[in-house]
């Protein structure tokens, strides 16, 4: 008899740990534990999503005749951590072996590696074959010099999968259509109505539990609409393919007040907990192109996210950990401002993105990278603090995907391993790609002065501070040329504005309406 331990982000019927399961002998173990809900203070919707999806998955396994030992968060005797609950289950069932699938977080893998000795039963850790590039293969590609940049890794994945290929050449003659995918929305544009899922009785029960057990966690539950079953996840994918994908390419970088979802896929939470798999999602998108229902720039841009970025950051995570998380190339040490939790800031771009994050446990990739992430980079927020925030507040955030994206792309804390330049921008970029600057109390064109947008003087101060590191980077030649053209007086004023802002940022929150404080 084997005990098959399924984690909350492994809700895939075809997962490796369930391969060869014998319903007549084997038992599946699933546990809800407080340690996993609180090692960062996860968004309430994220907790509801995972716990409800786990309970639905357990019921689907039972409907197949598979025995499931399911420990609920509120069960008496719950040890409230993975190791304690596994030990209790081994005592109950006396298995000959424990079978698990490779987890998504380094800390959990370290737990798994100690289980056999701790519980006195062999533990088999199987590869997570839901991904296209296993960690060992990524390490081999790294040794061969094929993972220095995501673009070259992505091309390798295209060749291996055959997606959007004509023999050995990419469809359309180009690997990447990103240059066509940077359009701003027309003024007053209304996005489509996106499919959301009303909570069923099981989800409502979980929501009540989360609200009672974790009342101080970030986020609201009244707008919960994430898919919690395989059937709902497939419906969410179908909605994206029909409603979102045809326009996804053109407007994937655009932002608009009150439009929280626009044309984005909204399937990452389901994908990252296993209700969908990357191969089926990428194949479905490719089929839309061949059927003439979605243009190549949209389909290529989406597939690049699924088999390019997603696989690349996972490979980077498992190849570079645990040391990767400890790097801090820009020596960023400032604490995360309180308004990242409250949303109470006069910077309209930040207020809008944090509002959407609170309401939905979601923000799309440009909001994460170029609004909250850009501010964190320019303000020198300590990488560990901004990483913990991203891990906590987004429903799709698991460390294997969150850490490289934030540590490398947002904070540039890895010194350029993931990206050759920091994703830093002044207010002009946000004004070009959104309507956030319209109606904001700050002046998006002013570099200094009481009403100057903090993004402006923080941006130029960032360039001044890190000129020794980035001044000769060819991808940053234009901004440094502009910086060189500034007079010493303006450079001094920028530095003074930034230092005053940092002092206020660390002080108790300012009264509302004091726009010069940047709150």
Model confidence at 199, in pLDDT bands (50, 70, 90)? Answer: very high
pLDDT in tens, 446-502: 999 989 999 999 999 999 999 999 999 999 999 999 999 999 999 999 999 999 999
Q: Which two tokens stand for residue 365?
A: 């990739």
Give the CA-trace dihedral at 346, 352, 353, 356, to 10 degrees.
Answer: 140
> Between these two residues, 472 and 509, which has the higher pLDDT value?
472
**What's residue 218's pLDDT?**
97
pLDDT at 394 over 90: yes
CATH number listed for the domain at residues 338-506:
1.10.579.10
**What's residue 150's pLDDT?**
87
pLDDT at 147 over 90: no
Helix residue ranges per DSSP H, 29-134: 34-38, 44-63, 82-93, 106-119
Mean pLDDT confidence for 146-172: 92
pLDDT at 431 over 80: yes
pLDDT in tens, 123-137: 999 999 999 999 999
pLDDT at 514 over 70: no
For 446, other C-beta atoms within 10 Å of its C-beta total 14
Domain edges within the chain: 2-126, 135-320, 338-506
Please state, in angstroms and rounded to a whole number, the distance separating the CA atoms of residues 101 and 334: 38
Mean pLDDT confidence for 26-30: 98
Model confidence at 104, in pLDDT bands (50, 70, 90)? Answer: very high
Please state, in angstroms and rounded to a whole number, the distance separating the CA atoms of residues 380 and 16: 42
**What's residue 304's pLDDT?**
95
DSSP single-letter state for residue 436 = T
Percent of the chain with pLDDT over 70: 97
Mean pLDDT lowest for which of 117-131, 141-155, 345-359, 447-461? 141-155
> What string of DSSP letters covers 364-427?
-HHHIIIIIHHHHHHTTB-HHHHHHHHHHH-TT--HHHHHHIIIIIIS-TTSSSS-SS-----H
Angle at 377 between CA 300 and CA 344, to 5 degrees: 100
Please state, in angstroms and rounded to a whole number, the distance separating the CA atoms of residues 106 and 193: 38
* CA dist 519 → 301, 322, 511 (Å): 35, 36, 9
**What's residue 512's pLDDT?**
40
**What's residue 148's pLDDT?**
79
Mean pLDDT confidence for 4-33: 97
> What string of DSSP letters covers 455-504?
HHHHHHHHHHHTHHHHTT-GGGHHHHHHHHTS-HHHHHHHHHHHHHHHHH
- Residue range 135-320 in CATH 1.25.40.80: yes
Please state, in angstroms and rounded to a whole number, the distance separating the CA atoms of residues 355 and 347: 12
pLDDT at 349 over 70: yes
Model confidence at 187, in pLDDT bands (50, 70, 90)? Answer: confident
Q: Which two tokens stand for residue 120?
A: 């006195």
Cis amide prior to 444 (ω within 30 degrees):
no
Instruction: Let me know if the fold of 2-126 is the same as that of 338-506.
Output: no
* CA dist 131 → 15, 86, 364 (Å): 11, 26, 22
pLDDT at 1 over 50: yes
| Helical (H) or strand (E) element with 7 | none
**What's residue 178's pLDDT?**
84
CATH topology of domain 2-126: Rossmann fold (3.40.50)
- Residue 4 β-bridge partners: 28, 99
Mean pLDDT confidence for 209-234: 97
What are φ and ψ of residue 68, in 5° steps?
Answer: -125, 120
**What's residue 509's pLDDT?**
52
Helices 44-63, 201-213: crossing angle, 10 deg rounding = 140
pLDDT at 193 over 80: yes
pLDDT in tens, 241-298: 999 999 999 999 999 999 999 999 999 999 999 999 999 999 999 999 999 999 999 9
> pTM of the predicted model, to two decimals?
0.94
Model confidence at 180, in pLDDT bands (50, 70, 90)? Answer: confident
pLDDT in tens, 52-100: 999 999 999 999 999 999 999 999 999 999 999 999 999 999 999 999 9
């Amino acid at each position: 008899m084997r005990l098959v331990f399924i984690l909350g982000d492994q809700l895939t019927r075809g997962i490796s740990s369930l391969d060869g399961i014998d319903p007549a002998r084997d038992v599946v173990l699933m546990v809800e534990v407080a340690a996993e809900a609180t090692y960062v203070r996860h968004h309430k919707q994220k907790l509801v999503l995972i716990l409800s999806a786990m309970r639905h998955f357990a019921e689907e396994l039972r409907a197949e005749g598979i025995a499931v030992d399911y420990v609920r968060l509120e069960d008496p005797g719950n040890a409230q951590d993975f190791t304690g609950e596994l030990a209790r289950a081994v005592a109950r069932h006396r298995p000959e072996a424990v079978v698990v699938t490779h987890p998504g977080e380094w800390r959990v893998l370290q737990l798994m590696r100690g289980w056999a000795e701790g519980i006195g039963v062999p533990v088999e850790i199987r590869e997570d074959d839901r991904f296209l590039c296993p960690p060992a293969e990524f390490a081999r590609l790294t040794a061969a010099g094929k993972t220095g940049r995501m673009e070259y890794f992505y091309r390798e994945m295209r060749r291996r999968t055959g997606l959007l290929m004509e023999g050995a050449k990419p469809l359309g003659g180009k690997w990447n259509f990103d240059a066509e995918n940077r359009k701003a929305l027309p003024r007053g544009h209304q996005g489509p109505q996106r499919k959301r899922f009303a909570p069923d009785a099981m989800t409502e029960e979980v929501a009540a539990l989360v609200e009672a057990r974790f009342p101080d966690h970030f986020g609201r539950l009244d707008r919960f609409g994430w898919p919690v079953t395989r059937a709902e996840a497939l419906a969410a994918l179908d909605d994206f393919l029909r409603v979102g994908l045809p326009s996804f390419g053109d407007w994937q970088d655009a932002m608009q007040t009150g439009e929280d979802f626009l044309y984005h896929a909204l399937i990452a939470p389901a994908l990252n907990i296993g209700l969908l798999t990357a191969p089926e999602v990428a194949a479905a998108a490719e089929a839309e192109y061949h059927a003439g229902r979605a243009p190549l720039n949209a389909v290529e841009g989406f597939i690049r996210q699924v088999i390019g970025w997603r696989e690349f950051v996972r490979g980077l995570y498992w190849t570079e950990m645990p040391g990767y998380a400890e790097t801090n190339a820009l020596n960023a040490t400032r604490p995360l401002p309180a308004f990242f939790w409250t949303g109470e800031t006069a910077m309209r771009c930040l207020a809008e993105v944090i509002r959407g994050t609170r309401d939905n446990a979601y923000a799309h990739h440009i909001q994460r990278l170029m609004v909250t992430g850009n501010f964190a980079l320019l303000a020198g927020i300590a990488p560990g603090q901004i990483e913990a925030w991203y891990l906590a507040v987004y429903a799709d955030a698991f460390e294997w995907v969150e850490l490289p994206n934030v540590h490398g792309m947002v904070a540039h804390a890895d010194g350029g391993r993931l990206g050759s330049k920091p994703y830093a921008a002044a207010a002009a970029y946000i004004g070009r790609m959104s309507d956030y600057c319209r109606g904001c109390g700050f002046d998006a064109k002013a570099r200094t002065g009481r009403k100057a947008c903090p993004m402006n003087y923080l941006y130029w101060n960032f360039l001044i501070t890190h000129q020794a590191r980035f001044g000769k980077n060819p991808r940053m030649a234009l901004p440094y040329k502009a910086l060189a053209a500034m007079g010493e007086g303006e450079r001094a004023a920028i530095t003074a504005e930034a230092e005053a802002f940092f002092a206020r940022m660390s002080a108790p929150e300012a009264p509302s309406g004091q726009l010069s404080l940047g709150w």
